[in-house]
Amino acid sequence: MSTPAKPPKPLRADAERNRQLLLDAAKELFAERGLHVSLDDIAKRAGVGVGTAYRRFSSRSELIEALFDERIDQMVELGEECLEIDDPWDGLVAFIERSTELQSSDRGLKEILLGSGEGKEKIAEIRERMRPIGSELVERAKESGDLRSDFVPQDLPMIQIMLGGVADASATVAPGLWRRYLELLLIGMRAGGEGGRPPLEWDQMVEVLNCWRPPRRD
């Protein structure tokens, strides 16, 4: 008979304080600069030694895992709230707009959602958790007759890439410029505009997202 595994010992007060300092610093830096920042950068922002950072988190990926569970839950909750909006078109538009708002203020979250080569487990998790929500938002808007019939859930991440690119490029010149291009995109998404190139299959969308890399900004 195997011996039950012992639960992990709680961290000492100073160790827990340092861990929280590192998480807070990582959240700030990821939001400002994206996921490419190093543990050294995070330790410096947190005001702790590099050795302390590596004792608490063995790698940047481990830190990403610890930090983004809450953010992923936030995105899922956002999608569920938009599904509760009575008008299907308004629900879809609200999801695109509010998720873009979140991503434009948090580069790290955007990189997790769209894929950046970092936090691969979290990328896979968010895609699987968001897939049914995105599908339902799209199907509701189609059934109501508002959304063009050839629009598919795979189009949503492509829209996020486009709007995110505008948000990044215009952040210091015209913050919020992406909203203009959302308005233009919404015109093209309306029913009656069908035609043109076919949408991506799900596996093709994943391949495109796996190739996407965020712009570097230090």
145 within 8 A of 92, measured Cβ to Cβ = no
87 within 8 A of 194, measured Cβ to Cβ = no
Look at the alpha carbons of 35, 64, 68, 75 in this order and tell me if their dihedral is positive or negative.
positive
Assigned CATH for 68-211: 1.10.357.10
118 within 8 A of 63, measured Cβ to Cβ = no
Which residue, among 4, 48, 1, has the nearest Cα to 25 in the 3D structure? Answer: 48
Assigned CATH for 13-58: 1.10.10.60
pLDDT digits (tens, 9 = 90+) for 147-180: 999 999 999 989 988 898 888 888 888 888 999 9
- Report the distance separating Cα 84 and Cα 60, nearest Å: 36
Q: Do domains 13-58 and 68-211 have the same CATH topology?
A: no
- Report the distance separating Cα 193 and Cα 93, nearest Å: 17
The mean pLDDT of the chain is 84
| Domain chopping of the chain, boundaries | 13-58, 68-211
Q: What is the dihedral of CA 81, 87, 89, 92, to 10 degrees?
A: 0
pLDDT digits (tens, 9 = 90+) for 49-94: 888 888 888 877 788 777 777 778 888 999 999 999 999 999 999 9
Q: What is the DSSP string of 19-73?
A: HHHHHHHHHHHHHHH-TT--HHHHHHHHTS-HHHHHHH-SSHHHHHHHHHHHHHH
